[in-house]
Amino acid sequence: MAPGLELPTPDNADDATQSLWTPTEVEYIQSWVVPTDYPELGRAVKHEFKLSYHGEVEYFGVLAMEDESEALIEDMAASTAEAVVVKILEKEQIRSGRLIPVDLSKPENLQVRRDLAATFRDFKRHQHKRRESTNGRIYYPGTH
């Protein structure tokens, strides 16, 4: 925090750090002093944020020393928000049962994903045909 800014107290409803810039989906909530075992290093301040993304709401905090600049706190909050977004997207993919590997999730690998999906569909179709056979083992692609 910049020198001269005072942290809010329960008596004071105004928050001194409302000027923090946050990404669109991130909302600043509050800041408070965190007790430390080493008072000679200075006071640590935890800044709490709320991220709303794809219908999910996640809370996260950024821990900084009291004399840290607002720009550094904003950068830490933005990078933490990016990490939280990645976790939300992973949870969404797991819930939908479609976890795409990181190297295949890039747009330039779209054709590879389509080829893999076509191969998987063919495998499932042939698997179904094998189950229809009399012994469950032999499948002759030319006869069905």
pLDDT tens digits for 53-102? 888 899 999 998 888 888 899 899 999 999 999 999 888 887 777 667 77
Count CB-CB contacts under 10 A for residue 64. Answer: 20
For residue 106, give the amino acid letter. K
Same domain, 87 and 108: no
**Contact indicator for 23, 53 with CB cutoff of 8 Å:** no
Same domain, 113 and 127: yes
Whether 16 is in a domain gets the answer no
Whether 1 is in a domain gets the answer no
The Cα–Cα gap between 98 and 42 comes to 47
For residue 7, give the amino acid letter. L
**Contact indicator for 69, 82 with CB cutoff of 8 Å:** no
Same domain, 89 and 121: no
Range of the domain at 38: 26-96
Same domain, 34 and 88: yes
pTM of full prediction above 0.85: no
Count CB-CB contacts under 10 A for residue 29. Answer: 12
Whether 8 is in a domain gets the answer no
Same domain, 71 and 88: yes
